[in-house]
Amino acid sequence: MKLMEVSSLTKSFGKHVAVNNLSFSIEEGHCVALLGPNGAGKTTTLEMLASLQKPTNGSVSFLGVEKGDYRESIGYLPQQPVFFPWMNAMEYLVFMGELSGLSKAKASMRADELLELLGIADARKRKIGGYSGGMKQRLGIAQALIHEPKLLMLDEPVSALDPVGRREMLELMKMLKETTTILFSTHILHDAEEVCDDVIMIHKGELAITGSLSELRRRHQEDVIIISADGNLDEWVRSIENWNVVSKVIANNDTIKIYVKNAEVARNQLLVEIAERQLPISRFTVGQTSLEDLFMKVVGK
Amino acid sequence: MKKWFVLFRKEWLEMSRNYKVIWIPLVFVLFGLLQPVTSYYMPEILKNASNLPKGAVIKIPIPSSGEVLAQTLGQFNQMGILVLVLAFMGIVSSEQRSGMMKAILVKPVGYSSYITAKWMSAVLLSGGAIFLGMLASWYYTILLIGDFPFMDIVKGISLYFIWILFLITFTVFLSSFLKSSGLVAAFTLLLSILLTLLTPLLKKWMEWSPAQLTNAAASLFTAGKIEGPFLIPLITTVILTALFLYLAGTRKSSLSRLG
Amino acid sequence: MISQINWALVAPIIAIQVILMIIALVDLFKTEKTNGPKWMWVLIILFINILGPILYFVIGKKHA
Ligand SMILES: Nc1ncnc2c1ncn2[C@@H]1O[C@H](COP(=O)(O)OP(=O)(O)OP(=O)(O)O)[C@@H](O)[C@H]1O
Ligand SMILES: [Mg+2]
């Protein structure tokens, strides 16, 4: 079932178009990564979905209802979570819980649960002003989850964390995605590949590629053979560019990347050539392009 | 409505954590007490401090109770307004700048509840401070100078409070539209000073002016009855207050604001 | 001359000033950042009569 459907979402700031004609949908129960480099429009998109910014154009429908107020059903972690430094974690969570429509009793129960779950129960009575960045990130997740939202939106939940914190956050997201639909933004493809089912790649505000990870792998992954040599292979490179089995060759100093249509055939042909010509090969690798390459291609770097 | 109270409670918790609940009323009480005391001791202070030639006779009459109370009102109108405006200038804009506003509005909360909860808490605290300060002044005036009818005090404060209500509402209004708290204070104080100065200067043209309410309250103290325009300024002030509150409590097209 | 001053009347005024001073100092020590150095605010609070604590509350505190 589609939880959220976004159609031709657009946001411009004066002449600058931050998000342009973006359409995608989020399946209930899925974990979706909104992927894009800095300035791609991730935060702007998420804020529009969280009704914090009004789209210049386009619409968002939640559970089939267009233009409804669905804030009760979403939890949102901003890129830089902020809090009242003069409150303690418990007070803050209860406050946010009550604003989300919970009773005071229910809110404090949920707050206790979440503080425990996120491992900051010991600091529940301490002023948030004295929290570390990682603790604030956890508290930010806790406030987003306080009312058991149907959709959890996280804006770059791992970018600001150190390797350990990042590992923990990814594990936490894996656990949360068992029970909640998650949409999170990131500029690191690796994180997306690790936890999510679907990706939405955007670049300069426009949708570049969307689909499930497995589908993207199938569609966009190519076999590639990488050859390194101790000498100059330029001449030979030009000759293999015309092979039927080769789709593209990228030569970079001593390393040649050969994108091929059939790894086995190409490998055999190449090995024969190398032996015949006695080329000064130092490395020969058969592999597949990663999604990282796809991402880089999209981003145009 | 329940959420409105949650927001309202948060405002009071914040004002007690940063001691506004204590220091703002105390400041008004302090000014309220100082006025009758200085009025009472002024002749003596002058006599001692002055290096007047021997034999010079100075006669400084001690002002009447009503005059002292009107002076207190004047003091509130300068120092008091300054204190209140500076205390509340960031009431919305500081949360806008810190991002706290977004953190709250991403929850299912109406923008107007968010604003009116803030407005109400600022109004109640200012009102309480002014009432306490004026009562303190009244008490000392009775002790030192002479009796003054309690009902007139209540009437006078109430009139004066409407003028303060107008200024606080204007502060909240600007704070919800401008990012810089400094500008909020500057514009509100400018408005207050302009109205206060121009109202007596351009009597004919300024009958509607909210600042007339200060004069009405002062005349109630000094003359025992309201002199000058009263109903017209009362009506315009109430209308303007409602208008500014309405403007503050409605988002235009988007959450991203000017400045 | 001074003896003529009614101390029962003046005492509350002094008490309020002292309370304001104490609250301002407590707040000053609790907050991390002030506009300008902290020691300066300590001096202002302690030595500027009546206005010192008020000045601290309205312009001394850094607003988030
Ligand atoms: N309020 C605003 N006014 C003007 N331009 C804005 C505003 N907010 C965002 N932009 C512009 O819109 C574009 C997208 O910004 P956005 O913050 O959505 O990017 P992002 O993908 O979240 O980047 P990052 O990875 O750095 O967080 C940027 O070019 C930014 O400069
Ligand atoms: Mg961003």
Q: Which of A256-270, B22-36, B80-94 has the lowest mean pLDDT?
A: A256-270
Check: CB of residue A11 under 8 Å from CB of residue A48: yes
Residue B53 is assigned to a structural domain of this protein = no
Distance from the Cα of A54 to chain B's closest Cα (Å) equals 5
Q: Which of A20, A42, A44, A202 has most ligand 1 atoms within 8 Å of its beta carbon, as the pocket-test mutant? A: A44
Contacting chains of B (3 CB pairs or more, <8 Å) are A, C
| Element (DSSP H or E) covering residue A9 | strand A2-13
Residue B44 is assigned to a structural domain of this protein = no
Residue in chain A lying closest to B14 (CA): A86
Residue type, A30: H
Residue B104 is assigned to a structural domain of this protein = yes
Give the pLDDT score at B50.
Answer: 65
CA A44 to centroid of ligand 1, rounded, Å? 6
> Is residue B92 predicted with pLDDT exceeding 60?
yes
Distance CA A77, CA A93 (A): 13
Q: Choose among A88, A86, A198, A191: nearest CA to A142.
A: A88
Give the pLDDT score at B79.
Answer: 92
Residue B158 is assigned to a structural domain of this protein = yes
% of chain B beyond a pLDDT of 90 = 67
Strand A65-66 to A206-212 pairing: unpaired
Residue B67 is assigned to a structural domain of this protein = yes
CA distances from A20 to A10, A17, A39, A203, C25 (A): 5, 6, 13, 10, 53
Most confident region among A258-272, B202-216, B234-248 by mean pLDDT: B234-248
- For residue A86, the 8-state DSSP code is T
Please report the DSSP string for A42-82 in residue order.
HHHHHHHHTTSS--SEEEEEETTEES---GGGEEEE-SS--
Check: CB of residue B93 under 8 Å from CB of residue B180: yes
For residue B254, which ligand has an atom nearest its CA? 1
Give the pLDDT score at A181.
Answer: 95
Q: Across the interface, do C9 and B29 touch by the CB < 8 Å criterion?
A: no
> Is residue C2 predicted with pLDDT exceeding 80?
no
> Is residue B223 predicted with pLDDT exceeding 70?
yes
Token output for B12? 């009071």
Distance CA A201, CA A189 (A): 10
**pLDDT category of residue B258 using cuts at 50, 70 and 90:** very low
Distance CA B18, CA B11 (A): 11
Residue type, A84: F
Q: Across the interface, do C5 and B41 touch by the CB < 8 Å criterion?
A: yes
Between chain A and chain B, the number of residue pairs with CB atoms below 8 A apart is: 58
Q: Across the interface, do C4 and B97 touch by the CB < 8 Å criterion?
A: no
Give the pLDDT score at B255.
Answer: 47
Distance from the Cα of A212 to chain B's closest Cα (Å) equals 28
Q: Which of A12-16, A163-167, B70-74, C33-37 has the lowest mean pLDDT?
A: C33-37
Give the pLDDT score at B52.
Answer: 64
Give the pLDDT score at A110.
Answer: 96
Residue B106 is assigned to a structural domain of this protein = yes
Token output for A205? 């505000």
Count CB atoms within 10 A of the CB of residue A203.
18
Residue B149 is assigned to a structural domain of this protein = yes
> What string of H, E and C letters represents the secondary structure of B68-133?
HHHHHHHHHHHHHHHHHHHHHCCCCHHHHHHCHHHHHHCCCCCHHHHHHHHHHHHHHHHHHHHHHH
Using CB atoms within 10 Å of the CB of residue A51, give its burial: 0 to 12 exposed, 13 to 18 middle, 19+ buried. buried
CA A155 to centroid of ligand 1, rounded, Å? 13
Q: Across the interface, do A76 and B106 touch by the CB < 8 Å criterion?
A: yes
> What string of H, E and C letters represents the secondary structure of B180-246?
CHHHHHHHHHHHHHHHHHHHHHCCCCCCCCCCHHHHHHHHHHHHCCCCCCCHHHHHHHHHHHHHHHH
Please report the DSSP string for A214-282 in residue order.
HHHHHHH--EEEEEEESS--HHHHHHHTT-SSEEEEEEETTEEEEEES-HHHHHHHHHHHHHHHT--EE
Residue in chain B lying closest to C14 (CA): B30
- Find residue A260's DSSP bridge partners: A223, A246
| C-proximal residues of B, 25-54, CB under 8 Å | 26-27, 29-30, 33-34, 37, 41, 44, 48
Say which residue, A286 or B124, is predicted with more confidence. Answer: B124
Residue with CA closest to ligand 1 atom 4:
A13
Q: Which of B107, B114, B250 would you mutate first to test chain A, the one with the most A CBs within 10 A?
A: B107
B87 at the C interface (CB within 8 A)?
yes
Token output for B41? 């001791």
- For residue B59, the 8-state DSSP code is -
- For residue A83, the 8-state DSSP code is -
Give the pLDDT score at A99.
Answer: 96
Token output for B84? 């209140």
Q: Across the interface, do C16 and B140 touch by the CB < 8 Å criterion?
A: no
> Is residue C6 predicted with pLDDT exceeding 80?
no
Give the contacts of B90 (CB within 8 A, at least 6 positions apart). B175, B181, B184, C63
Give the pLDDT score at A242.
Answer: 83
Residue in chain B lying closest to A68 (CA): B108
Residues of C with CB under 8 A from a CB of B: 1, 4-5, 9-10, 12-13, 16-17, 19-20, 23-24, 26-27, 50, 53-54, 57-59, 61, 63-64
Distance CA B54, CA B155 (A): 46
**pLDDT category of residue B216 using cuts at 50, 70 and 90:** confident
Residue in chain A lying closest to B17 (CA): A86
Give the contacts of B9 (CB within 8 A, at least 6 positions apart). none
> Is residue C26 predicted with pLDDT exceeding 70?
yes
- Find residue A26's DSSP bridge partners: A4
Residues of A with CB under 8 A from a CB of B: 47, 50-54, 69, 71-72, 74, 76, 78, 80-84, 86-87, 91, 95-96, 98-101, 143
Check: CB of residue A198 under 8 Å from CB of residue A211: yes
CA distances from B143 to A207, A256, A264, B130 (A): 78, 99, 106, 20
**pLDDT category of residue B259 using cuts at 50, 70 and 90:** very low
CA C49 to centroid of ligand 1, rounded, Å? 49
Domain hosting C20: range is 2-60
* B103 φψ region: left (φ > 0), alpha (ψ -120 to 50), beta (else): alpha
Using CB atoms within 10 Å of the CB of residue B64, give its burial: 0 to 12 exposed, 13 to 18 middle, 19+ buried. middle
pTM above 0.80, yes or no: yes
Q: Across the interface, do A98 and B104 touch by the CB < 8 Å criterion?
A: no
Would you write out chain A's pLDDT as a tens digit for each of its 301 residues? 889 999 999 999 989 999 999 999 999 999 999 999 899 999 999 999 999 999 999 999 999 888 888 999 999 999 999 999 999 999 999 999 999 999 999 999 999 999 999 989 999 999 999 998 889 999 999 999 999 999 999 999 988 888 888 898 899 999 999 999 999 999 888 888 889 999 999 999 999 888 888 888 888 778 888 888 887 777 888 888 888 888 888 887 778 888 888 888 888 888 888 888 888 888 888 888 777 777 777 777 5
- For residue A28, the 8-state DSSP code is T
**Three-class SS state of A203:** strand
Please report the DSSP string for A178-196 in residue order.
TTSEEEEEES-HHHHHHH-
b/e map of B164-199 (b: 16 or more CB within 10 Å)?
A: bbbbbbbbbbbbbbbeebebbbebbbebbeebbeeb
Question: First and final CA of chain B: distance in angstroms?
Answer: 31
Give the pLDDT score at A292.
Answer: 74
- For residue A128, the 8-state DSSP code is G
Number of domains in chain C: 1
Token output for A242? 């015309």
The beta-carbon neighbor of C9 closest among B20, B143, B181 is B143
Residue in chain C lying closest to B85 (CA): C58
Distance from the Cα of A65 to chain B's closest Cα (Å) equals 16
Residue B13 is assigned to a structural domain of this protein = yes
- For residue B61, the 8-state DSSP code is P
Pinpoint the alpha helices (H) of A72-212. Answer: 89-99, 104-117, 133-145, 163-176, 189-195
Give the pLDDT score at B39.
Answer: 87
b/e map of B90-119 (b: 16 or more CB within 10 Å)?
A: bbbbbbbbbbebbbbbbbbbebbbbbbbbb
Domain hosting B249: range is 2-35+63-255
Q: Across the interface, do B254 and A54 touch by the CB < 8 Å criterion?
A: yes
Count CB atoms within 10 A of the CB of residue B225.
9
Number of domains in chain B: 1
